[in-house]
């Protein structure tokens, strides 16, 4: 990786035209709705991401590095300088890399604690890519934030990311006094794939009597199931950046198996046996989505034939540690107070809505905030390379306000 910057400089000019061509060819197939926040800026961000993907494919074909490695490198961004209001240190909790953010100001008593799990489809993301978000949360909510660098797919398949997040969480909960954290005010938080991990960790810890009980869980446009990729939000937003319907299935398969084989069958729904689909229909169904979220159109789909061979390769999709929406009521009713953020223009919108209903049906208090003009990934883009997305800042401030209420 140390040679990569020099190689990029050498390759940049001859590849720039190819990357631009790939971007221009790809853009027409994507849909940026007029109601989305800052559509022109979003198109520019999408162009950058498509250019990165195009260059990554070329580098992979030349054998210089894989497309995923290149994508991770580009997403790292620049290192931030010292923060005058925070102590920041890199540590390891049970051999899991973490970054701890602690406010420098004196406090009258123990502070809130936040365990933060980053997004990125279990494939991308790092402590550095979420540095701005974690600093903001720590400063604005006056909390100790622990950002967890879990192992990434496809090199490390499920349940590696979940196990790392759980292990780091257990360590933090066992050593709260060392960080000046109130045992009664610890929250798990994550966006996208990180929201999935936060929900799974929260469910696991709910039954533990040997650790402090979590005060809350914060789930920011979480992905919570892989049974149905044809829910209304997946249909309506299938081509809306920054997460397309096909990519949602791609990332889930990469996390589960380390490859994206049978992606088409999973998208069509051929991977779930009829009896299992019937069992989970009470929790994963368009019928549980409020009508107001169907006005942009929902197409009834004919049932697809079940393919047993595909199911054998993806049957762990039915494990709650991977798909928390499928947890039993006996687990869900033990969960702490919850904050769920959803975005209108996001394929994962309905995952959040369905989990909101499950929590409320089990007597769990839920604060729900819906960004009417939001798209997937907008929180981490609230201040991205000079582009500002006010809706993302609005959502992040709602998270801060919720934390302050605890």
Burial class (CB in 10 A: 0-12, 13-18, 19+), 242: middle
CA end-to-end span of the chain: 43
As a whole number of angstroms, the distance between CA 218 and CA 329 comes to 19
Q: For residue 362, what are its two tokens?
A: 């089990």
Per annotation, catalytic residue among 138, 143, 169, 192: 192
Per annotation, catalytic residue among 182, 376, 380, 391: 376
Give the count of beta carbons closer than 10 Å to the beta carbon of residue 11: 15
Active site residue 376: yes
Burial class (CB in 10 A: 0-12, 13-18, 19+), 303: exposed
Nearest Cα to Cα of residue 172 among 118, 128, 219, 214: 214
Please check whether residue 362 is in contact with residue 249, taking contact to mean a CB–CB distance below 8 angstroms: no
As a whole number of angstroms, the distance between CA 304 and CA 63 comes to 39
SS3 161: helix
Per annotation, catalytic residue among 182, 346, 350, 373: 346
**Three-state secondary structure along 3-43?**
CHHHHHHHHHHHHHHHHHHHHHHHHHHCCCCCCCCCHHHHH
Active site residue 262: no
Give the count of beta carbons closer than 10 Å to the beta carbon of residue 214: 24
CA distances from 402 to 147, 169, 228, 338 (A): 19, 21, 31, 9
Give the count of beta carbons closer than 10 Å to the beta carbon of residue 77: 14
As a whole number of angstroms, the distance between CA 336 and CA 131 comes to 26
Active site residue 351: no
Please check whether residue 54 is in contact with residue 18, taking contact to mean a CB–CB distance below 8 angstroms: yes
As a whole number of angstroms, the distance between CA 71 and CA 286 comes to 34
DSSP per-residue letters across 304-316: PPP-HHHHHHHGG
Residues catalogued as catalytic: 192, 346, 376
């Amino acid at each position: 990786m140390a040679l990569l910057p020099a190689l990029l400089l050498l390759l940049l000019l001859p590849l720039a035209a190819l990357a631009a061509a790939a971007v221009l060819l790809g853009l027409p197939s994507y849909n940026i709705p007029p109601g989305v926040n800052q559509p022109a800026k979003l198109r520019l961000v999408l162009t950058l991401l498509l250019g990165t993907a195009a260059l990554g494919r070329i580098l992979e074909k030349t054998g210089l590095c894989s497309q995923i490695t290149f994508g991770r490198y580009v997403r790292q961004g620049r290192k931030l300088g010292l923060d005058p209001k925070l102590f920041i240190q890199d540590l390891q909790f049970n051999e899991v890399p973490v970054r701890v953010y602690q406010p420098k100001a004196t406090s009258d008593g123990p502070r809130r604690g936040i365990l933060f799990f980053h997004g990125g489809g279990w494939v991308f993301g790092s402590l550095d890519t979420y540095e701005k978000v974690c600093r903001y949360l720590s400063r604005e909510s006056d909390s100790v934030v622990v950002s967890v660098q879990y192992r990434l797919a496809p090199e490390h398949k499920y349940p590696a990311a979940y196990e790392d997040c759980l292990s780091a969480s257990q360590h933090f909960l066992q050593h709260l006094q060392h960080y000046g954290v109130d045992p009664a005010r610890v929250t798990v938080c994550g966006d996208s794939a990180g929201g999935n991990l936060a929900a799974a960790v929260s469910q696991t810890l709910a039954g533990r009597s040997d650790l402090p009980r979590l005060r809350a869980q914060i789930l920011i446009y979480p992905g919570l199931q892989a049974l149905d990729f044809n829910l209304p939000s997946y249909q309506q937003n299938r081509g809306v950046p920054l997460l397309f319907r096909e990519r949602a299935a791609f990332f889930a398969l990469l996390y589960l198996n380390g490859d994206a084989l049978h992606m088409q069958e999973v998208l069509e729904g051929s991977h779930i046996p009829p009896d299992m689909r019937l069992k989970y229909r009470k929790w994963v169904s368009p019928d549980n989505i409020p009508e107001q979220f169907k006005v942009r159109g929902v197409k009834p789909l004919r049932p697809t034939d079940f393919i047993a061979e595909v199911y054998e390769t993806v049957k762990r999709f039915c494990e709650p540690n991977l798909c928390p929406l499928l947890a039993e009521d006996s687990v869900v009713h033990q969960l702490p107070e919850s904050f769920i953020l959803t975005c209108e223009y996001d394929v994962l919108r309905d995952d959040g809505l369905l989990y909101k209903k499950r929590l409320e049906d089990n007597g769990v208090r839920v604060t729900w905030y819906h960004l009417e003009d939001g798209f997937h990934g907008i929180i981490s883009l609230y201040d991205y390379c000079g582009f500002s997305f006010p809706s993302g800042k609005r959502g992040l401030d709602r998270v801060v306000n919720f934390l302050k209420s605890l």
